[in-house]
């Protein structure tokens, strides 16, 4: 059971997902286009597109983004199990007819509450999820969902926290993969900016560390269920 992973930068890897997916039987093949590796035109198995600092439309900054959007669109159309995370969720929105822009409320960072919507109750990944803590780190936002998208979770101040396209494609604005260690790396790299925006880096880091068990409890099942979808599609 093979999952292709598009990683946009070295400090935004699979994190928690690496262990959860491996234990569920998945073999992840990580493609690193920032190191010159080519984004495939077609894949089998499953696809995960991770987060990154770039905006979903910054093709000059990250020349592989058009190929990534094309791959996402093809996977959605073909029913390949797909999961977009943060930037990956925004790329899916653009690839499939939605809209993404600078978030009008500015940077969302740290631990926030994500609230499931009614459609989550019968969704294969989100069923049974209650209001849950999630790690956030984004300044852009999905302002319009793609046609046919099913909203699955919301939050404050950015409502489009999770959605599904078709039967086998999901997108989450938050970071289910982010371990406390990864989050500390992110805040260390932008400490001056965060402080300038009025955030306490120490408080942000402490809150994520204290929430570790809640984060694992909420999002490990999502990863395991996504692995199950990949298995089901491959063996159908």
Instruction: Look up 177 and say whether it is catalytic.
Output: yes
* Helix ranges, 47-189 (H): 65-78, 87-95, 180-189
Please determine, for residue 219, whether its predicted confidence score (pLDDT) is greater than 90: yes
pLDDT of 236 reads 74
End-to-end CA distance of the chain: 13
Of 28, 62, 96, 175, catalytic = 175
pLDDT of 1 reads 83
Of 62, 75, 86, 96, catalytic = 86
Strands 169-172 and 46-49: unpaired
Hey, what CATH topology would domain 2-235 get? Rossmann fold (3.40.50)
Average confidence (pLDDT) over 164-179: 98
The tens digit of pLDDT for each residue in 85-140 reads: 999 999 999 999 999 999 999 999 999 999 999 999 999 999 999 999 999 999 99
Show me where the domains of the chain are located: 2-235
pLDDT of 135 reads 98
Instruction: Look up 224 and say whether it is catalytic.
Output: no
List, in order, residues 6 or more apart from 235 with CB less than 8 Å away: none
Instruction: Look up 105 and say whether it is catalytic.
Output: no
The tens digit of pLDDT for each residue in 33-57 reads: 999 999 999 998 999 999 999 999 9
The predicted model scores a pTM of 0.97
């Amino acid at each position: 059971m093979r999952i292709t992973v598009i990683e946009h930068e070295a400090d935004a890897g699979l994190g928690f997902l690496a262990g959860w997916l491996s234990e569920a039987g998945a073999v992840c093949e990580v493609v690193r286009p920032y190191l010159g590796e080519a984004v495939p035109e077609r894949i089998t198995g499953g696809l995960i597109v991770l987060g990154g600092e770039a905006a979903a439309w910054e093709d000059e900054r990250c020349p592989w983004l058009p190929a990534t959007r094309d791959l996402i669109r093809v996977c959605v159309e073909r029913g390949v199990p797909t999961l977009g995370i943060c930037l990956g969720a925004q790329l899916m929105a653009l690839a499939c007819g939605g809209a993404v822009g600078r978030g009008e409320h500015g940077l969302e960072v740290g631990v926030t509450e994500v609230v499931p919507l009614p459609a989550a109750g019968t969704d294969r990944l989100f069923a049974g999820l209650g209001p849950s803590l999630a790690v956030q780190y984004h300044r852009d936002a999905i302002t319009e969902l793609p046609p046919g998208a099913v909203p699955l979770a919301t939050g404050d101040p950015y409502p489009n926290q999770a959605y599904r396209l078709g039967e086998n494609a999901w997108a989450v604005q938050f970071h289910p993969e982010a371990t406390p260690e990864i989050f500390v790396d992110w805040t260390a790299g932008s400490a001056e900016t965060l402080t300038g925006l009025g955030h306490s880096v120490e408080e942000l880091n402490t809150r994520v560390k204290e929430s570790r068990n809640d984060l694992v409890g909420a999002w490990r099942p999502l990863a395991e269920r996504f692995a199950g979808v990949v298995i089901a599609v491959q063996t159908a």
